[in-house]
Structure 1
Amino acid sequence: MSKALDILYKVLDFQSGSLLTASEKPTSALKRDDWIEKGEWLDDDGLSISNPGSFVEGVTLANLLVTEPRPRNPLLADIVKRIGLAERTGRGIDRIFEGLLRYGRPAPDYGRSDATSVVVQMSNTGSDLGFLETVLREEERTGRSMPLDSLIILSRLRQERRLIITDLTHSTQKTEQATRVTIETLVEAGLVDAHGSGRGRTYTLSAKLYRKAGQKAGYIRQAGFDAIQQEQMVLRYIGENGSIKRAEVAELCRLSMPQAYHLLKRLKDSGKIQQHGVKRHAFYTQKS
């Protein structure tokens, strides 16, 4: 037990660490085995904690967030929960993720785990208090804690700027349908902006979040990319095929029919293409 407490104190001393993250990881390891071979170290990348032995059977990196709790020693796990060192729900990993992500810090990394040990690394990246304020305001608005899936999606978008739904399902470890429900909820809340439609629909952080972070130009670069790319795609299609119809624009750029109409109108108004025919018989060519 002294080894467990030693690691607990070191985690608590970890720069920018949160109490939630610090208190959960040692007890998770405590329920796995004895502490003789445990290891922890600080380096330029952050704090790492290792525990001998692989993940419990049935637990992998691909289902770490969604699999049912599987303690290696059920009796010891129950004792630890009864004395208040861990939750009876057995969702300690969720709490580690939440404790980092809500402060705008990178998710914990279990990627160095292998058949001989489980290793978790927590980055020493500083907290983003502006992001935390956004999370707290949203929690105040909804009257509940922000779900882990939402925190994961916002974190990915903060790091990688623009993603499609399949990028995000890998991180949430949920089905595409479940992930889509979560991200569309974030769109409705004004935290995420959606661009395009269908399977080509992409997502970025909203203009509101970019403004709060003092990165107005960053949002314009992300949102403006779609329009420029779509115009180039339409002009290239016309150059190769001679003409294009609205339905073809919608399919090419993965847009709704009204969005395709506005794209064609924008190109026509700028003098880049010309219209022939009307309504459903209309087609467009490059302006000569």
Structure 2
Amino acid sequence: MEIKEMIQQGETKYVEFKSWVKVNKKELMSILINEAVGFSNTDGGVILVGVEDDGEVTGCDNYDVQTIIESIYDKTVPKIFTDIEVVELADKEVLKITVQKSPEIVATSKGVVYKRLGKNTKPFYPAEYSSNKITGFKGDYSSKIIGPAAKEDIDFTEVEHLKLKIQSRDKDSTLYQSDNITFLKDLRLIDVVEDEIQLTVAGLLFVGTKEAIVKYLPQAEIIILTYNEGQMEYYKRLELRIPLIQAVDRIHQIFEDQNGLENIQMGLFKLEVNDYPINVFQEALLNAISHRDYENTSSIIVKFYPNEIIIENPGAFPTGVDSKNIITHPSSPRNKLIAETLQKLKYVQRSGQGVDIIFKDMLSLGKSAPEYSLYLDAVSLTLRSGLEDKEFLEFITQEQEKHGEFSVAEICILKYVKSNKTITLSKAGDVAQITSQSAISVLNRLCQKNNILQREKRNKYMFTHRVYESFNGNIEYAKDKDFDEIQANVMILDYLSENEYMTRQEVERLCGFSSATSKRILKSLREQKKIVLEGKSKASKYRLNR
């Protein structure tokens, strides 16, 4: 979220304003330490120093960023690492102090513990510490040990089910050959301490009995709601508090029962296009399971509408991830052990977000882009079934048959050009969520494939004529083609001024034209007696008429 937007929304559970000019600096440092402890013990957050409670930007001066970082670090236990960014706003400097959520309870060096309650920081008392109940590996809630859970809370029928999954899906794995306890230990779903079996959060979710899941993690629920056309109220509700793989398989069956199919005629063959690509829905669902906040009392909700699917997930995006970088941001699943277990069970090919797959497959099938809605403590994903752009689907399908798969960055850029006719280098970086240097590389690859060409203005790109003509040549494109054919005349003559001969194929590569357009332009230049044809058929070539 941009700093201006933070200030407009006011103080929240995740944002605190502090004045630099109205407070004694020693007192302010003590306040910043307390606020950092409060954010660490809740869900992390941002302190904006130089902003008044009412949102007025008064700025900071004579500050030392390193001193602030070291003061917070030295006076917290365990140590808090903060990141401070100096942001210029309204000709004033604001300090943006980012605090991450801590996997452990943090106190000040004086032994005082705080937490965030709404937009205020309040004392945090030992009886409220969740770590008194669940302890374990640092930084990953799903790998923490559930103290009271024991061997009798394991559903060993489900353990055998998981072993069969691995045996059938991963021929190279030997995990399934172990006894049940060793198998669970190898997957880190349990820990054995002094001969006592303890379940991790992930272990409870994958192999816990239904009763144990309800007892220890009642919030670990997935709710399925189904709606009829034009109805605001669901007509079917299913609540799943069962082991994760059972839940995923059950939801997948519901999805397949509702996933329609459309046949698209493309030349001599028909292309079958599902309402939703199966792998897109699976990635979206497993992404929700891997990233949800299991300390949040809300449930994952999957809503099936006639023309769209909405997945609502408790827990905000990880720090640093937003709608502008979600495709390319490095993977950082909130529940790493859950993600790794899903990978070992071959439900996902990699331990990550899978958001790039969701974007690429939806756009390449002519669907609208997936829509992410971000909230303070939740994320909502909407997938729409409608075939938004049949021309784009046909174009991508034909191009991939010739040149192989497009990358997600290439798909995003081509989709933007299809809708807006041209794209700049800067916009290409924004659309594909990549750096300018990476955008140059992607644009060059698309130029080499004769999908786009650089326009008369530097760093401005558009489709080649060959691509335009595949889109039924609408009037606006035709105007651009007329202009570019004039430019092409100059390019051809310039080329021949430096090279003795040129073939029609070289004209196609140079100008990005189709065969028919190249023939027409060369014929026009011959009629104007600017070039001369030599040879016949495949041996034909052109030179300047000197």
Asked which structure has the greater CA Rg, the reply is 2
State the distance in 1 between where 2:451 and 2:306 align.
32
Match of 1:18 among 255, 277, 299: 277
Q: Which amino acid aligns with 1:203?
A: Y
Task: Give, in angstroms, the shift of residue 135 of structure 1.
Answer: 2.7
Alignment partner of 1:65 out of 318, 327, 337:
327
Structure 2 partner of 1:182: 442
Contact 1:106 1:155 in 2 (8 A): no
Matches within 5 A, 1:167-206: 167-198=427-458, 201-206=459-464
Determine helix, strand or coil for the equivalent of 2:374: coil
Q: Is 1:94–1:148's contact at 8 Å kept on the other side of the alignment?
A: yes
SS in 1 for 2:291: coil
Does the C-alpha gap of structure 1 residues 89 and 147 become closer, same or farther in structure 2, counting only changes over 3 Å?
farther
Conserved in 2, the CA contact under 8 Å of 1:51 and 1:119? yes
Give the match for residue 208 of structure 1.
466
> Are residues 137 and 69 of structure 1, via their aligned partners in 2, closer, same or farther at CA, if it must alter by over 3 Å?
same
Deviation of the 1:67 alpha carbon? 1.9
The CA distance in 2 between the partners of 1:11 and 1:196, in whole Å, is: 49
> How many Å apart are 1:184 and its aligned residue?
2.6
Query: Of Structure 1 and Structure 2, which has the larger fraction of its residues in helix?
Result: 1
- Can you list the C-alpha shifts for 1:141-180, whole angstroms capped at 9, x where unaligned? 33x4211110010111122222222122111111112112
Q: Counterparts of 1:40 and 1:183 in 2: how far apart (Å)?
A: 37
> Contact conserved, 2:421 with 2:463, CA < 8 A, in 1?
yes
Q: What fraction of aligned residue pairs are identical, expressed as a percent?
A: 20
Q: 1:223 deviation in Å?
A: 4.6
1:32 is aligned to 291
Aligned residue in 2 for 1:161: 421
Equivalent pairs counted in the alignment come to 224
1:136–1:66 distance in 2 versus 1, CA, 3 Å:
same
Q: CA deviation at 1:72?
A: 0.9
Secondary structure at the counterpart of residue 31 of structure 1: helix
Tell me the residue number matched to 2:479: 221
Query: Is the partner of 2:380 in helix, strand or coil?
Result: strand
Conserved in 1, the CA contact under 8 Å of 2:298 and 2:314?
A: no
SS, match of residue 40 in structure 1? strand
Alignment partners' CA distance in 2, 1:64 and 1:174: 11
Check whether the contact 2:315–2:379 (CA below 8 A) recurs between aligned residues: yes
Equivalent residue for 1:120?
A: 381
Q: Counterpart in 2 of 1:262?
A: none
Aligned 8 A contact 2:313 2:378 in 1: yes
Q: Which residue of 1 aligns with 2:369?
A: 107
Deviation at 1:76, TM superposition (A): 1.1
SS of equivalent residue, structure 2 residue 313? strand
Distance in structure 2 (CA, Å) of the matches to 1:146 and 1:59: 24
Which residue of 2 is the match for residue 238 of structure 1? none
What per-residue deviation string (whole Å, max 9, x for no partner) do you get for residues 166-218 of structure 1? Answer: 122111111112112212321231212331132xx422233323322323434
Q: Is the 8 A contact 2:339 2:351 kept in 1?
A: no
Aligned-partner Cα distance in 1 for 2:462–2:307: 27
Q: Secondary structure at the match of 2:446?
A: helix
Change (3 A) 1:5 1:222: farther
C-alpha contact 1:104 1:155 (8 A) present in aligned 2: no
Instruction: Tell me the secondary structure at the aligned position of residue 154 of structure 1.
Output: helix
Which of 134, 148, 164 is matched with 2:395 structurally?
134
How big is the alpha-carbon RMSD for the aligned residues of Structure 1 and Structure 2? Answer: 2.9
Query: C-alpha displacement at 1:44, in angstroms?
Result: 7.9
Distance (Å, rounded) in 1 between the aligned partners of 2:479 and 2:314? 46
1:241-278 CA-to-partner distances (Å, cap 9, x unmatched) read: xxxxxxxxxxxxxxxxxxxxxxxxxxxxxxxxxxxxxx
Larger RCO, structure (CA 8 Å, separation 6 or more): 1
8 A Cα contact 1:105 1:126, kept in partner:
yes
1:176–1:55 Cα change, 3 Å: same
Report which of the two has the higher share of strand.
2
In structure 2, relative to structure 1, the CA distance for the partners of 1:10 and 1:108 (3 Å cut) is farther
Distance 1:51 1:77 in 2: 16
Distance (Å, rounded) in 2 between the aligned partners of 1:10 and 1:101: 24
Higher mean C-alpha displacement, 36-45 vs 206-215: 36-45
**Quick one: structure 1 residues 129 and 52, their matched pair in 2 at CA, closer, same or farther if it must change by over 3 Å?**
same
Aligned-partner residue type, residue 335 of structure 2: N
Judged with a 3 Å threshold, the aligned counterparts in structure 2 of structure 1 residues 172 and 77 are, in CA distance, closer, same or farther, namely same
Which TM-score applies when normalising by structure 2? 0.37
Q: Which runs of 5+ in 2 are unaligned?
A: 1-243, 261-274, 486-546
The alpha-carbon distance between structure 1 residues 209 and 41, as it changes in their structure 2 partners (threshold 3 A), is farther
